[in-house]
Amino acid sequence: MLLKSDNQIIRVLMQRENHSLVIDCIKRTMPQWVLSANLSGYEGCPDTELYERTGMPLDRQLSEEEKRIAQERYTRIAGVLPFIGDEVKRSEVIRALSSQQSKQTIRKYLCLYLTYQDMNALAPVPKESRELTQDEKNIRWGLNKFFYTKNKNSLQTAYTMMLKERYCDAQGVLVDGYPSFHQFRYFYRKTRSLQNLHISRDGIKDYQRNSRPLLGDGVQQFCPSVGYGMLDSTICDIYLVDDGGKLVGRPVMTACVDAFSGLCCGYSLGWEGGTYSLRGLMLNVVTDKVQWCTDHGVFIERRQWDSNAIPGTLVTDMGSEYAGDTFSQITELGVKIVNLSAYRPELKGRVEKFFDLIQDSFKKQLKGKGVIEPDYQERGAHDYRKDACLTLKQFEQIILHCIVYYNNSRVMEFPFTEQMLADGVKPYASSIFAWGMKQLGANMVSVTPKQLIQVLLPRATGRFTRKGLQINGLRYRHDAYTESFLKGGEALVAYNPDDVTQVWLVEKGCYIQFTLIESRFKGKCLDDVQGIQKASRKIVNDSASDSLQAQIDLAKHIQMIAAQTQRSDTQVKNIRSTRKKEQYRTHRDYAKENAHE
With a cut of 70, say whether residue 586 has pLDDT above it: yes
Pick left, alpha or beta for residue 511 (phi over 0 → left; psi -120 to 50 → alpha; otherwise beta): beta
Percent of the chain past pLDDT 90, that is, above it, reads: 44
Sign of the CA dihedral running 340, 346, 348, 352? positive
46-50, 57-61, 166-170, 519-523: which range is least confident on average? Answer: 57-61
Distance (Å, rounded) from C-alpha 586 to C-alpha 566? Answer: 23
Total Cβ atoms within 10 A of residue 537: 11
* SS3 call for 492: strand
Task: For the chain, give the mean pLDDT.
Answer: 88
Range among 201-215, 313-327, 392-406, 568-582 rated most confident: 392-406
Q: Contact at 8 Å (CB) between 337 and 229?
A: no
Global pTM value: 0.63
**pLDDT grade, residue 321 (50/70/90)?**
low
DSSP H/E element including 477: strand 474-477
Q: What would the mean pLDDT of 31-54 be, rounded to a whole number?
A: 86
pLDDT (0 to 100) of residue 146: 94
**pLDDT grade, residue 18 (50/70/90)?**
confident
Percent of the chain past pLDDT 70, that is, above it, reads: 94
Distance (Å, rounded) from C-alpha 350 to C-alpha 232? Answer: 10
pLDDT (0 to 100) of residue 36: 86
Strand partners, 15: 20
pLDDT (0 to 100) of residue 320: 61
Q: What would the mean pLDDT of 136-140 be, rounded to a whole number?
A: 94
Helices marked H in 117-234 — which ranges? 134-142, 155-166, 181-191, 194-202, 204-206, 219-222
211 DSSP assignment: I
Q: What would the mean pLDDT of 1-21 be, rounded to a whole number?
A: 86
522-572 pLDDT, tens digit per residue, is 999 999 999 998 999 999 888 888 888 899 999 999 999 888 877 677 788
**pLDDT grade, residue 347 (50/70/90)?**
low
**pLDDT grade, residue 128 (50/70/90)?**
low
Instruction: Give the pairing type, strands 43-44 and 32-35.
Output: unpaired
Q: What is the DSSP string of 296-327?
A: TT----GGGS---SEESEEEE-S-HHHHSHHH
HEC profile for 537-578? HHHHHHHHHHHHHHHHHHHHHHHHHHHCCCCCCCCCCCHHHH
With a cut of 60, say whether residue 215 has pLDDT above it: no
75-106 pLDDT, tens digit per residue, is 888 888 888 888 889 898 888 888 878 889 98
pLDDT (0 to 100) of residue 322: 65
**pLDDT grade, residue 352 (50/70/90)?**
confident
Instruction: Give the pairing type, strands 313-316 and 336-339.
Output: parallel
Contact partners, residue 179, CB within 8 Å, separation at least 6 = 135, 138, 139
pLDDT (0 to 100) of residue 172: 87
Please work out, in degrees rounded to the nearest 5, the angle formed at the alpha carbon of residue 266 by the alpha carbons of 260 and 271. Answer: 135
Q: Contact at 8 Å (CB) between 460 and 472?
A: yes
Alpha-carbon distances of 215 from 208, 212, 219, 339, rounded to whole Å? 12, 9, 11, 21
With a cut of 70, say whether residue 377 has pLDDT above it: no
Nearest-CA neighbor of 290 among 308, 281, 302? 302
pLDDT (0 to 100) of residue 341: 66
